Amino acid sequence: MENFESKNLNNKRVALNTLGCRLNLSETGSIAQGFKDRGYDIVEFGEPADVIFINTCTVTDSADSSCRNLIRKAHNSSPEGKIVVAGCYAQMEPEKIAGMQGVDLVLGNSEKYKVFEYLDEESENQVHVDKSWEFFGAATTEADTHTRAFLKIQDGCNYVCSFCIIPFARGRSRAISIKDAVSEAQKLVSSGFKEIVLTGVNIGEYEQSSGEKLHDLVASLLAIDGLERFRLSSVEPNTFTDELIAVLKSSPKVMDHFHIPLQSGDDEILSAMRRRYTVADYKKVIAKLMVAFPNAGIGADMIVGFPGETKEQFENTFNLAKELPITHFHVFPYSKRKNTTAAKMENHIHSAEKKSRVKSLIMFGDAKLNLFTEDQIGKITKVLFERRNKLGFFEGYTSNYLRVQVQTELDLSNQISNVCLTRIESGKLFGELLQ
C-alpha cells in the first residue's frame, strides 16, 4: 500500500475490502484499478475514505455476518463516506443490506463493475441486482502486490452441489475464449506481473462453457514469452484430466501447488452432496499429480458435519486426509444455506459436534503442514518475492506455496530468486538467498 502522505490530498479516496474466494479477490483487483484510473487514491480499509467498496461472499452464515461487521466498521471510520456493498451476499440479500445504516449502494455480481456509473448518479440507497449474468471484469486483475495476477477465465457454475448457494449468487457457467484469455494475460505480463493464477468459480467447466479445451487454454498461456510462473486455482477432481496434467508437467513455469476440493472422504456423503466423483476417483487424481509433481503442495476443501454425517463418515474424511498427501487443509463446518437441497435434509448435526470435528481436522491439518514444511528444509526452491515485512525480512512464496522469508539488504520486490530453505522458527519458514 502506498504511503498516504505522498498522495494528492485533493484526490478522492477509496477503501476496498474483499471476503471469500480468490475469484472475488481478483474482481476487487479489477475494480480497484478502475478507481485508480478515475483518479482515486486507494487507502487502507478502516481509514477515512470517500468511497468504501466491500465485495462480499455468502458461502456460509459467518461470511454473511463478517460482511455486516465490515459495513459497521466502514460506517464508523467514514460516517460521511459512500458505502458500496457488492457481490454474492449483496446478490442474495440486497434489501437486508440496503436497510443497514450507512449503506448507499447495493450491487449484484454483474452490476458491481458499473459502480462508477452508479456513484455518479448521486441518489441514495440504490439497489441494483439483476440476473443478467454477463461475463464481467474478466481478465486483467491486480493482486495486492504487483507480482501475482489473477486471470479470471470463467464465472458461474452449472453443478448443483446440494450444499452450495454459489449457482444462485453467480448464475450459470460462462467463460472467455482462449484468444481473449491470452490477450489479457499478455497485458498482465507486459505490465510487469511474473505470475498468473488462473481463476474461476468452476474452471473445470471451461470446455462446456467456451467450447474450447481447458488444457489448450493452459498450453497457450504457458507459451507466452515473459510469463515466468503459472498456477491453477481450484479445479474439481472430476475435471482434472490426463491431458491437463500432461500440459502442466510439460512446462517449468507451472508451480507445483494444486487445489482440489475434496469436501468429504465418504462416498455416501459425496453422493448426498451431489459431488461428481467418488473417493476412488479423488485418490486417482492425486496419485497422478504426485507422479507428475512429486514435491507438490496439495490444498483441499473439506466440509465437516454435512446433514446426516455419522462419526464413522467423518472418520472416513479424517483418515483419507491422513492417507493422501494433502498439505493445505481448508476445513469448513457445514453451514445451512437457504433454498439449497441440503438445508431441507434431516439429521442436521449439532453445532457443538460440528465444532469438535472441525477442530480435530484443523489441528491435524496444521500438524501435517508443519511436517511437510520440515520436509522442505535443505531444499533449493525458486521464490517470487513480494515485500519486506515489518521485521525487515523479504517474503514470498515457494513453488509449492509455502511462505518463506529471507534476510537481505537487497530490494527483492517482484524478483524470482533461488533460496535454500534452512529453518523453521515459531512456525515460520526461513531461507537463505543463493546467488
Residue 46 C-alpha cell reads as: 478502516
Least CB distance from residue 312 to ligand SF4, whole Å?
A: 24
Comparing CB distances to ligand SF4, the nearer of 103 and 201 is 201
Comparing CB distances to ligand SF4, the nearer of 49 and 166 is 166
Q: Are 360 and 311 in contact (CB under 8 A)?
A: no
Long-range contacts of 167-170, Cβ-Cβ distance < 8 Å, separation of 24 or more: 168/91, 168/92, 168/339, 169/58, 169/88, 169/89, 169/91, 169/92, 169/109, 170/88, 170/91, 170/109, 170/133, 170/201
Residue by residue, what is the 3-state secondary structure of 70-93? Answer: HHHHHHHHCCCCEEEEEEHHHHHC
Q: Are 29 and 143 in contact (CB under 8 A)?
A: yes
Least CB distance from residue 218 to ligand SF4, whole Å?
A: 19
Angstrom distance (rounded) from CA 262 to CA 236: 8
Instruction: Supply angle C-alpha 251, 201, 157, rounded to 5.
Output: 125
Least CB distance from residue 429 to ligand SF4, whole Å?
A: 31
Could you please report the per-residue DSSP string of 391-427? TS-EEEE-TTS-EEEE--SS--TT-EEEEEEEEEETT
Angstrom distance (rounded) from CA 59 to CA 166: 7
* Cβ neighbours, 10 Å, residue 302: 24
Residues near ligand SF4 (CB under 6 A): 157, 159, 161, 164, 166-167, 201-202, 236
Comparing CB distances to ligand SF4, the nearer of 161 and 214 is 161
Comparing CB distances to ligand SF4, the nearer of 18 and 239 is 239
Residue 412 C-alpha cell reads as: 527483492
Comparing CB distances to ligand SF4, the nearer of 157 and 217 is 157
Least CB distance from residue 296 to ligand SF4, whole Å?
A: 22
Least CB distance from residue 147 to ligand SF4, whole Å?
A: 27
Relative to beta strand 297-304, strand 328-333 is: parallel
